[in-house]
Amino acid sequence: MEICIVHYGEIGVKGKNRIFFEKKLVENISRFAKAKRRFGWIEVEYREGIEDKLRKVPGIRYFGVGFKTELDLSAIESAVLKALPENFETFKISTSRRNKKFPLNSVEINKELGSVVVKKTGKKVDLENPDVTVWVEIGENFALVYSKRFEGIGGLPVGSAGKVVSLVSGGIDSPVASFLAMKRGCEVVVVHFFNKTLHSPEVRKKILKLAEKLAEYQGDLKLYMIPFEDVQMEIIRIVPPKLRMVVYRRSMVRMANLIAEKEGAKAIVTGDNISQVASQTLDNLNVIYSASKLAVLPPLLGFDKEEIISLAKKIGTYEISILPYEDCCSLMVAKHPETRANLELIEEFEEFEELEKNAVEKGEIIEIHS
Ligand code: ATP
Ligand code: MG
């Protein structure tokens, strides 16, 4: 019977917390497959198409699809023969031996199994550039054998770090930032601010699509759609155009904090990237982030735009992000916004608390199931 042999990276070395991380990962995989914690790996029941799912689970470094056998050389030999694909000319056996009590060492096992394959199939060993590699792992209780190996996304299991509220705009950057937070073990609650009077149902569809894509990595995901127009009209009434962008962003950060309080989230995540646009100068980021009680984390801090785009393509958000949309943030702002906002000056304008509270209360909460 084929099984999936799941290996985690970093969580293997977290001392006492290790079991907590492992259990979290098992729990996350269990949402779509039967999974069991073993010594140093996780066993997952195989079914067709599961590769695509496992490839998206944060915390998995790599996994194989193959067989579990007894710790016995002849059983391992037949598993190796079963694991070989139909068509190949050259092969290599790659053994790792965690169980030092096993009578042969890894080099000896490679030789032994290699000669069996040569004898049975007539194919050649090629250690440099083989058509097929058969991995053999000698564990405490079982041996694992597989020739199909897939890279995961690494990181830590979602939920192991706690919750964050992630501001998602519909642009390219913020969905990637949300993904990176998930990859580091955060459970992400997505928040989008929109202008009900201006925005077509297209915006809603777009944000839903982005949230659904992100749910492929996280599992279930909560999306808050917050109507921003009342706050926005008041900002437009009071704040000069040059400063509006920064004030919008401060307001969003404050509302994100209200949502974080409801959700028990411990930080705010944004798609900010140093100096990419006018609102992202260090001076402005200081002013924007100082509106937050919780830490504001921008995972894209040091990325180049090309790097963000290529990651967006890899995770599948890019195609959705480039669909046309109106960002409420770009409404009624100066062509050349202030790049060095003055906090004291801005604080004089700000009396939006009631409106912000109301906006959050009016918000729609959408539960997305992966
Ligand atoms: P993005 O590609 O994510 O839109 P950007 O480089 O275009 O980012 P801005 O549009 O200035 O930069 O937004 C900076 C960050 O502010 C976004 O990454 C997002 O985290 C947050 N943000 C902006 N607009 C919204 C919105 N309407 N709803 C929720 N968050 C928003
Ligand atoms: Mg944007």
Q: Tens digits of per-residue pLDDT, 171-220?
A: 999 999 999 999 999 999 999 999 987 767 889 999 999 999 999 999 99
Pick the residue whose CA is nearest to atom 11 on ligand 1: 279
pLDDT category at 14 given cuts 50, 70, 90 is: low
Share of the chain above pLDDT 70, in %: 98
123 and 259 in a single domain? The answer is no
Given phi > 0 = left and psi -120 to 50 = alpha, else beta, which region is 204?
alpha
Q: Which of 93, 120, 151 is the last residue of a domain?
A: 151
Ligand 1 site, residue 284, Cβ cutoff 6 A? no
Does any domain span residue 11?
Answer: yes
Predicted confidence at residue 317, as pLDDT, reads: 98
Does pLDDT of 352 surpass 90? yes
In a domain, 127, yes or no: yes
Atom of ligand 1 nearest to the CA of 270: 20
Cβ atoms of residues 32 and 55 within 8 Å: no
Q: Are 34 and 116 spatial neighbours (Cβ–Cβ below 8 Å)?
A: no
3-state secondary structure of 200: coil
Question: Which residues are registered as beta bridge partners of 150?
Answer: 63
Two tokens, residue 153: 């996304």
With cut-offs at 50, 70 and 90, classify the pLDDT of residue 18: confident
CA–CA separation, 157 vs 347, rounded Å?
A: 40
Could you list the residue range(s) of the whole structural domain that residue 87 is in?
Answer: 2-151
Sheet holding 124-125, edge to edge: 35-37, 42-45, 3-8, 60-69, 143-151, 132-138, 90-97, 124-125
* CA distances for 79 relative to 46, 59, 317, angstroms: 16, 28, 39
pLDDT tens profile 129-164 = 999 999 999 999 999 999 999 999 999 999 999 999
Number of other residues whose CB lies within 10 A of the CB of residue 49: 6
184: which DSSP letter? B
In a domain, 144, yes or no: yes
- Residue 310 belongs to a domain: yes
Verify that 99 and 231 share a domain, yes or no: no
- Check if the beta carbon of residue 41 is closer than 8 Å to that of residue 144: yes
Which residues contact residue 142 at a Cβ distance below 8 angstroms, ignoring those fewer than 6 apart?
Answer: 38, 68, 69, 70, 71
> Would 238 be classed as within a structural domain?
yes
Q: Tell me: pLDDT of 235 over 80.
A: yes
Which pLDDT does position 12 carry in this prediction? 56
Assess whether 323 and 218 both reside in one domain: yes
Predicted confidence at residue 328, as pLDDT, reads 72
Domain end marker among 116, 151, 186: 151
Q: Residue 13 — very low, low, confident or very high, per pLDDT cuts 50/70/90?
A: low
The number of folded domains in the chain is 2
Same domain, 147 and 173: no
Positive or negative CA dihedral for 10, 16, 20, 22? positive
Mutate to test the pocket of ligand 1, among 194, 296, 329 (most ligand atoms within 8 A of CB): 329
The enclosing domain of 41 has a CATH number of 3.30.2130.30
Q: Which ligand is in closest contact with the Cα of 248?
A: 1
Q: Which atom of ligand 1 is nearest to the CA of 328?
A: 27
Which tens digits make up the pLDDT trace of 75-105?
999 999 999 999 999 999 999 999 999 999 9
235 with 319, same domain? Answer: yes
Banded pLDDT at 289 (limits 50, 70, 90): very high
pLDDT mean over 48-53: 97
> Is residue 98 domain-resident?
yes
Same domain? For 178 and 80 the reply is no
Here the CATH number for the domain that contains residue 364 is: 3.40.50.620
Ligand nearest to the CA of 167: 1
Mean pLDDT (the chain, rounded): 94
Tell me what pLDDT residue 78 has: 97
Q: Closest ligand to 300 CA? A: 1
Indicate if 281 and 140 belong to the same structural domain.
no
Distance CA 278, CA 229 (A): 22
| Chain-centroid distance, C-alpha 286 | 27
Q: Give me the residue label for tokens 């000069």.
A: 240
What's the 248 CA to ligand 2 centre distance in angstroms?
13
Once rounded to an integer, what is the mean pLDDT over residues 289-313? Answer: 97
**Sequence-ordered alpha helix ranges (H) in 184-240:** 201-218, 229-238
Q: Does residue 157 form part of some domain?
A: no
197 domain-assigned: yes
| Domain co-membership, 147 together with 190 | no
Q: Is the CB of 93 under 6 A from ligand 1?
A: no
Return the pLDDT at 91: 98
